[in-house]
Amino acid sequence: MTRYVSLVVTACLSAVAGLAFQRVFGFGPVAPVAAVAAAVPTVLCGLLSGPRKEKRPWPLWISLVLTVAAWTGTVAVTVLRPALSDGTFPQAVREGVLGSWKSILTTLLPAPAKPEFLVLVNVLVWLAAFASAEIALRTRLRALPAVPPLGVWAVALLLGVDGPGSNLPLAAATVVLIAVLVLVRADGPDAGPAWRPLLSGLPVAAVLGALALVAGPVVPVSADPYDPREQVQAPPPQQRDSVSPLDRVGGWLLSPDQVMFTVVSKRDEIERLAVLDTFDGVTWTSSARFVPTGSRVPEGPKPRKEHAVAQRVTIGALPGVYVPAPDRPRQVDGLGVVVDPASGALAAAKPLVSGRTYTVESEVPEWSADDLAGAGVADDAEARADRRLPWGPGATTPPVQLAEFRRFAEAATQGAVSPIQKAAMLAEYLKRYAKYDVTAPPGHGYRQLDYFLGEGRRGTPEHFATAYALLARTLGLPSRVVVGFDGGNRSGGTVQYRSGDVMVWPEIKFAGLGWIRFNPLPDSARRSKSNDSVAAGETEKKLEQAQKNAASRTRGSGPGRTPQKTPPKPAAAHDTPTPWWVYASIAAAALVVAYLMAVLLAPALRRRRRRTGPPGDRITGAWHQALDHLADVGLSTARTLTAHEVAGFGAAQVGEDARGHLGPLADLVNRSRFAASGPDPRAADRAWHHTDQLGRLVTAKAGRLRRLRRRLHPRSLRDPRASGRRAG
Amino acid sequence: MTESGGADADALAGRFAQMFAALAQNVERVVRGKREKVELALVCLLSEGHLLVEDVPGVGKTTLARAMSASVEAEWARIQFTPDLLPSDITGVSIFNQGTGAFEFHPGPIFANLAVADEINRGSPKTQSALLEVMEERRVTVDGTPHPVPRPFMVIATQNPVDMDGTYPLPEAQLDRFLMRISMGYPDHQAEVALLAGAPTGALLDRLPPVMGRDDLARMIDFAQRLHVAAPLYDYVVRVVAATRDHPDLRLGASPRASVALLRAARVRAAAAGRSYLVPEDVKALAVPVIAHRLIVTPEAELRGRGGADVVGEVLASVPTPQAAGV
């Protein structure tokens, strides 16, 4: 009876563990998969546990063969039914079981509920339900059947750590179910459930569940959990597009009339194409990690104010894989894209072709002078990386231009006391310092920029933006360069972006705000464009004005007295890299859990092994188990003691009640070992009865705490009587 | 009791145990408060071994021999060893019969089922040596003619460990022929009070009824020696005995005769416990009385007060028992 009640609980545990994948796929796709995968193997194990000879379950291999067959059939008619019909079932199974986790890890959540993805959930829950049911049927250990579902939990948590929603209610339900499992199995599988402790324990289980629900959010690691996606290396964008958009700028400006793409939108926005944040001394490249998202783009830093914009984009002559969209895109439909979650930049899965249309919904941030005034420079890992000034490929000494750039930047920002002031003054300085000239020779290495800032003082947006970014880095401001399109020709609701509308601008990262665009281009730049470009967008104008206001607001405060805004805590936490101690703690916790499982499981498995086999082996096993019990009350060695001497020791240590069990047990083990005729199964049953009773007496004498302490000792891992068994 | 093995062996072992207990109970009616010693002596008797009782006079050595012989309807004889005792006083002599014109053998007191050799260490070495042949081969050769002793045959020798003046210590070869050496010891208070309050021992001995005949005794001896011994127990016995040969406190360890003797005695003890098989407890329980007197302790160890029993105890505490599977 208890065994079958246990099966109900183990099935529920496995199903709940499967539901934890809701952070990966959402509840809808996961619920039926988890329910079926938990129920079928449990029912199968229950049916196979029927009485056979000597009331023992069928051999495990039969269960294994049947469950594999049942799983194949079930998955064929449920999750992988389409694959069955088109003949790709074997490939789908292999991909689902072996490769889907990689695809899930490289997909932003929620992942699409593809059949080959859901197979992973199915197989994990199935295995957990099968293992849990078999453990419940074949052992008397109370909590061990909960371990396989906890394994599913671990996988679900790792794969869904970045997913939406919360698993807290499911975790609480798991705690309750484990408590119920322990209560249900209180008297072992052969006896009926202990109803009284079960009824009195249920409220305790409920309280445990409630505590788990309340305590979950305050667990330290929950604020910044380990995310395996951070370890997944996505292909760099250079492999997607052999030519950097920045290198194309000069050519596009010289032949400005190519229609790159058209946008149907009610509002003019700057279209961002590529984000280049890594400078190696010669070129700017992107360090973006593009991952599949389905159609969703994860949120970036949350500004105080933003407005939504929806656009329908039709690709024209735009080459490469970078997909234009206003910053920051949230949803892309009609085009298979991969996304860099950090910057929100989009790249097409395949090179763009003319005529391809897609829609994009974006949330464009609107910054005010209040937001910018006093903003501090970001100091996270990304910002630190974006402050570096490499010497150049193969260079062994720093380029001489760096010192000149630093002096130039300091001169340009003389008197500035706040980062925003420096950034704004630098942009204003460059606006006035150089002239816009599309015929300027392209290039953005140290030497080209030295020429641009020294003798030439004429350049394209490429020169202005990259020079600004480098000068900002000499001032300690984290910078990057963005290539996009600005302006365009509006005709009704349609804006046509041509090659001449290409724009390059620098961005500076501020703590709590994220990347802020600056415009170092002279005002004559727009006017000098040969096409009939529309005026700069309203958002851009507002931003430039806010930067000017913020810079002027802090200018008079004097050095060292500029009020610095304290970055909002959530944003700072988002940007802060995971500290080393979190990893160390996770590793230590994993080791501790593994150790605990090992030291608790090893004796249990030994006990199970000792209970099996021919009657003689079972009696010897019972004797060894009794010796283990007596070790808890001080029996250090029994090598030279006879069975009755051990019994005498046990009686002296545990009490006379123990003699009543140890004496007959000693007789049984002596007869089993030394008599001419072998023992019968009833003798083995009696031996184990005496051993079990002795175990209870020892527990009462030594106390559960002392016994647990001994169990946790590393020597629990070793079978002290293994050599004797081999010898015997 | 002609079969062993399986359920029959268990039943026969149970019968053996009953008869053994009856025998011990009968002997204990006159040798009071010495159940353990009585059982050891009976084990010795049923093993067809000889017993050396080392104790002071007046503790019941002769009474034990008489009670045992009376309980099994056996003949007993007492030989008081003195320095002038001759071998022929023990074994017997051939006397010329003038009527028949031939020498006739007149058996000595050794031709009894239970021969009590009292104060054996007071006899000369030559006289002591007269026992060597009969104790081992159960026959006496006189004038080239062997004369077998009756079955069962057991020599119960006594010696006084206190008064050693004018004695001749038994040589190793002689000691090795004794299956066991025990010490009767004084009775405890209650047993001694009961001894005083009861009838005189002599009268009791005269009225002591026999529990079994000599044929029953012979069948019990045969049954015990056919008990099942598991292979690990042979190994255990050899390990225990061999451990004495390398012991640093010993000048002479136990001989293979000791292994044989220990196994024979252990078989009887197992049957007396109602078992049809040996267990390590049987070996351990008899190791000291069977082995200790065969050991010769080094002078240094002797000065430290160590004896053969201490060494055997130490050996038993160091040799793993067969069913011990390590801890």
- Residues 687..726 of A with a Cβ closer than 8 Å to B: which? 720-725
Q: What is the mean pLDDT of chain A?
A: 81
Size of interface A-B (CB pairs under 8 A): 90
Q: What is the mean pLDDT of residues B67-81?
A: 87
A637/chain B closest Cα distance in angstroms: 5
- B284 neighbourhood in chain A, CB within 8 Å: 642, 645
Residue B189: burial class (beta carbons within 10 Å; 0-12, 13-18, 19+): exposed
Q: What is the mean pLDDT of residues A234-244?
A: 59
A653-711: per-residue pLDDT in tens?
888 888 889 999 999 998 888 888 888 889 999 999 999 889 888 888 877 777 777 77
Of A67-81, A194-208, B228-242, highest mean pLDDT? B228-242
User: Range with the lowest mean pLDDT among A570-584, A609-623, B113-127?
Assistant: A570-584
Residue B256 sits at the vertex; the CA angle it makes with B253 and B262, to the nearest 5 degrees, is: 95
A562 pLDDT above the threshold of 50: no
pLDDT band at A77 (very low <50, low <70, confident <90, very high): confident
ω into A301 cis (within 30 of 0):
no
CA distances from B89 to A699, B53, B118, B285 (A): 69, 22, 14, 37
Check residue A528 and give its pLDDT. 57
Q: What is the mean pLDDT of residues A123-132?
A: 93
A286-312: per-residue pLDDT in tens?
888 787 776 777 777 777 788 888 999
Please give the residue of chain B at the shortest CA–CA distance from A715: B327
Check residue B63 and give its pLDDT. 84
> Could B326 and A639 be called an inter-chain contact, meaning their C-beta atoms sit closer than 8 Å?
yes
Please give the residue of chain A at the shortest CA–CA distance from B282: A642
User: Range with the lowest mean pLDDT among A484-493, A538-547, B87-96?
Assistant: A538-547
pLDDT band at A200 (very low <50, low <70, confident <90, very high): low
Q: Between A233 and A23, where is the model more confident?
A: A23
Q: What is the 3-state secondary structure (H, E, C) of A158-203?
A: HHCCCCCCCCHHHHHHHHHHHHHHHHHCCCCCCCCCCHHHHHHHHH
A60 pLDDT above the threshold of 90: no
Q: Please, are residues A707 and A698 in contact by the beta-carbon 8 Å criterion?
A: yes
Check residue B278 and give its pLDDT. 93
A578 pLDDT above the threshold of 80: no
Token pair for A100 = 């889907």
pLDDT band at A726 (very low <50, low <70, confident <90, very high): very low
The whole model's pTM is what? 0.50
Which stretch of DSSP H or E encloses residue A312?
A: strand A306-315
pLDDT band at B327 (very low <50, low <70, confident <90, very high): very low
A40 pLDDT above the threshold of 70: yes
> Could A645 and B277 be called an inter-chain contact, meaning their C-beta atoms sit closer than 8 Å?
no
> Could B320 and A639 be called an inter-chain contact, meaning their C-beta atoms sit closer than 8 Å?
yes
For A641, the closest of B5, B277, B321 (CB atoms) is B321
B23 pLDDT above the threshold of 80: yes
pLDDT band at B296 (very low <50, low <70, confident <90, very high): very high
What domains sit in chain B, N to C, each tagged with a CATH number? 31-208 (3.40.50.300)
A674/chain B closest Cα distance in angstroms: 5
Check residue B110 and give its pLDDT. 92
- Residues 654..673 of A with a Cβ closer than 8 Å to B: which? 669-671, 673
Q: Per DSSP, what are the bridge partners of residue B147?
A: B140
Check residue A210 and give its pLDDT. 78
User: Range with the lowest mean pLDDT among A102-106, A486-490, B252-256?
Assistant: A102-106
Mutation for testing the B interface, residue in A637, A642, A668 having most B CBs under 10 Å: A642
Check residue B6 and give its pLDDT. 60
B129 pLDDT above the threshold of 70: yes
**Quick check: A242 contacting B, CB < 8 Å?**
no
Q: What is the mean pLDDT of residues A478-492?
A: 89
A189 pLDDT above the threshold of 60: no
pLDDT band at A261 (very low <50, low <70, confident <90, very high): very high
Check residue A132 and give its pLDDT. 92
Mutation for testing the A interface, residue in B12, B267, B279 having most A CBs under 10 Å: B279
CATH architecture group of domain A369-483+502-571: Roll (3.10)
Check residue A718 and give its pLDDT. 73
A436 pLDDT above the threshold of 70: yes
A164 pLDDT above the threshold of 50: yes
For A675, the closest of B276, B319, B327 (CB atoms) is B276
Q: What is the mean pLDDT of residues A465-474?
A: 92
> Could A636 and B327 be called an inter-chain contact, meaning their C-beta atoms sit closer than 8 Å?
yes
Q: Give the position of tokens 């000291």.
A: B288
Please give the residue of chain A at the shortest CA–CA distance from B6: A677
Check residue A484 and give its pLDDT. 92
User: Range with the lowest mean pLDDT among A49-53, A277-281, B265-269, B309-313?
Assistant: A49-53
B41 pLDDT above the threshold of 90: yes
Please give the residue of chain B at the shortest CA–CA distance from A631: B327
> Could B322 and A637 be called an inter-chain contact, meaning their C-beta atoms sit closer than 8 Å?
no
Check residue B4 and give its pLDDT. 39
A224 pLDDT above the threshold of 60: yes
For B327, the closest of A637, A644, A671 (CB atoms) is A637
pLDDT band at B16 (very low <50, low <70, confident <90, very high): very high
Read out DSSP for A209-268?
HHHHHHHGGGSHHHHS---GGGG--PPPGGGT-SS-HHHHHHHHHHSTT-EEEEEE-SS-
> Could B321 and A635 be called an inter-chain contact, meaning their C-beta atoms sit closer than 8 Å?
no
Q: What percent of chain A has pLDDT over 90?
A: 14
Residue A418 has, within 13 A of its CA and on its CB side, a CA count of 26
Q: Which residues contact A202 (CB under 8 A, 6 or more apart)?
A: A180, A183
The A346-348 sheet, strands edge to edge: A291-292, A337-339, A346-348, A322-323
A557 pLDDT above the threshold of 70: no
Check residue B200 and give its pLDDT. 65
